[in-house]
Structure 1
C-alpha cells in the first residue's frame, strides 16, 4: 500500500468511527435522558440495552480506528445499528397530519437513510479486511 493510501485509510477510519465513539460516550453523560428515550420507544430492559449499546459502539469504533480485529468491530457495530435503526427511526409509522409531524417524519427518514448508508459502509469495511 502506498504511503498516501495508508494515510487516507487512517483518516477515513477515524472519521467513520467518530460517530460511534462520540455517540456511545455521550450516552454515559445523558444516561437518564437516554433511558427515557428508549422507554418512549417501548423498549424493555433499558439499562441492559443501554450498557450494551455503549460497549458495542465504543469498542467497535475503536476497533476500526486502530485496525485491530476490524471484522469483529464491524460485527459489534452492526449488532448495534441494525436494531437501533428500525426501533428509533421507523419513519413509516409516524403520522403526517400536521406540518410539524411531516417535518418530524422527514427527519426520521433522513436518520434512517443515514444509518442504512453506515450499514453499507460497515459491510464494505468487513468485506475488505484481510483478517
Structure 2
C-alpha cells in the first residue's frame, strides 16, 4: 500500500508543481488574466499562488506534512474556482462550457485534497515512504 500511496501522491502533486512553474515563470501574463477576472494586485497574487502551489505540491510528493499541503491546496482551489472560473457570468456558450469544466475540475481537485488531508492525518506515521508524519491528527 505504501508504494501505491507514494505513486498517487506524486501523480497528484505533479499537476500543482507544473502549475506553480507556470505561475512563477509567466507571472506577468497570468497576472493580466487575473486582472481581467478582477483579482486585486494580480501579479503579486499570481506569484504568491505559485509559491503556495509549489510548496503544497512538493510537500505532498515528498511526504513532508502532506496533510498541510492538501489543506493549502483546498484553500487555494475553492476560491480560485469561484473567482477565476465563474462560468455563470459568461454569455458565450463555448467560453461558458470551458469555464464550467475548469470550475468543476478545481472543485473536484479541492475535494480530493480534502479527502487526502483526512487520509494522511488519520493514517499518521503508519503510512510510510514519507519524510515526516502529518501535522494534523484526525481520529
Q: Distance in 1 between matches of 2:117 and 2:12?
A: 13
Q: In structure 1, what is the equivalent of residue 24 of structure 2?
A: 28
Q: Deviations over 1:17-73 (max 9, x none)?
A: 111110111122212111110110111112321221011100000111111111211
TM-score calculated relative to the size of structure 2: 0.83
> Which of 41, 44, 49 is 1:48 aligned to?
44
Deviation at 1:127, TM superposition (A): 0.5
TM-score calculated relative to the size of structure 1: 0.87
Q: Distance in 2 between matches of 1:62 and 1:29?
A: 17
Q: Distance in 1 between matches of 2:86 and 2:65?
A: 32
Residues paired across the two proteins, number: 122
Q: Deviations over 1:67-124 (max 9, x none)?
A: 11112111221222121111111101111xxxxx111111111111111110111111
Q: Distance in 2 between matches of 1:16 and 1:122?
A: 9
1:73 aligns with 2:91: no
Q: In structure 2, what is the equivalent of residue 122 of structure 1?
A: 113
Query: Which protein, 1 or 2, shows the higher relative CO under an 8 Å CA cutoff with sep ≥ 6?
Result: 2
Any residues of structure 2 matched to 1:3-42 within 5 Å, and which? 5-42=1-38
Structure 1, unmatched stretches of 5+, are 96-100
Structure 2, unmatched stretches of 5+, are 125-133, 135-139
> Secondary structure, in 3 states, of the residue corresponding to 2:56?
helix
1:91 aligns with 2:64: no
